[in-house]
Amino acid sequence: MKFFDTASRWFDADNSRSVDTHLARLDTTSVSRRDFLAMTSAGVAATAFAGAAGLPSVSLASTDGKLAYLAWTSRVEFMIQASRATEAATKQFGFNYTYLDGQIDSQKQLDQAEQQLGAGVNAIILHAPDGSAVRRIAELAGKNNAFFSNVWATMPWLTPFEVGDYYALYAVPEEFTAHRAVTRILLDEVTKRFGGGKIIGVTGVPGFTTDTVRSRGRDAAFAEFPKTQLVDQLPGLFNREDSLNATQDLLTRHSNIVGVVAQNDDVAMGVIAALKAVGLRPGEDVLVVAADGTAEGLLAVKSGQLLATSANSPAYQAGLFSSRLYDVLNGWKPRASERMQNWKSLIVTSENVDGYIKRHVENGDVLPFDYKKMSKVLHPDDWDPQAEVTPLDIDHEWEGFEKPSGWNYPEPYAAAKKNGEWEAVKQEYADHYKILFEGPSPFEKG
25-29, 117-121, 268-272, 409-413 — which is least confidently predicted? Answer: 25-29
3-state SS assignment for residue 2: strand
Nearest to 235 by CA among 222, 213, 250: 250
What residues does CATH 3.40.50.2300 cover in the chain?
Answer: 62-173+313-432, 176-311
- pLDDT > 50? residue 417: yes
- pLDDT > 60? residue 21: no
At the fourth CATH level, the homologous superfamily of domain 176-311 is Response regulator (3.40.50.2300)
CATH topology of domain 62-173+313-432: Rossmann fold (3.40.50)
- pLDDT > 60? residue 41: no
pLDDT at residue 445 in the model:
87
pLDDT at residue 23 in the model:
45
If one compares 284 and 12, the residue with the highest pLDDT of the two is 284
- pLDDT > 60? residue 22: no
pLDDT at residue 207 in the model:
86
pTM of this structure: 0.86
Helix (H) or strand (E) holding 70: strand 66-71
- pLDDT > 60? residue 35: no
Per-residue pLDDT of 285-298, as tens digits, reads 999 999 999 999 99
- pLDDT > 70? residue 138: yes
- pLDDT > 50? residue 89: yes
Residue 56 pairs in a beta bridge with: none
pLDDT tier for residue 446 given thresholds of 50, 70 and 90: low
Beta strands in 174-279 (DSSP E): 197-203, 228-235, 257-262
Per-residue pLDDT of 166-188, as tens digits, reads 999 999 999 999 999 999 999 99
Over residues 62-81, the mean pLDDT reads 89
pLDDT tier for residue 75 given thresholds of 50, 70 and 90: very high
- Cβ(275)–Cβ(247) under 8 Å? yes
Beta strands in 205-295 (DSSP E): 228-235, 257-262, 287-292
Over residues 428-432, the mean pLDDT reads 98
- pLDDT > 50? residue 14: no
pLDDT at residue 36 in the model:
39
Per-residue pLDDT of 196-247, as tens digits, reads 999 999 999 998 999 999 999 999 999 999 999 999 999 999 999 999 999 9
pLDDT at residue 191 in the model:
98
DSSP letter for 204, please. -
Nearest to 58 by CA among 67, 50, 66: 50
* Residue-wise DSSP of 127-169: E-SSSTTHHHHHHHHHHTT-EEEEES---TT--GGGT-TTEEE
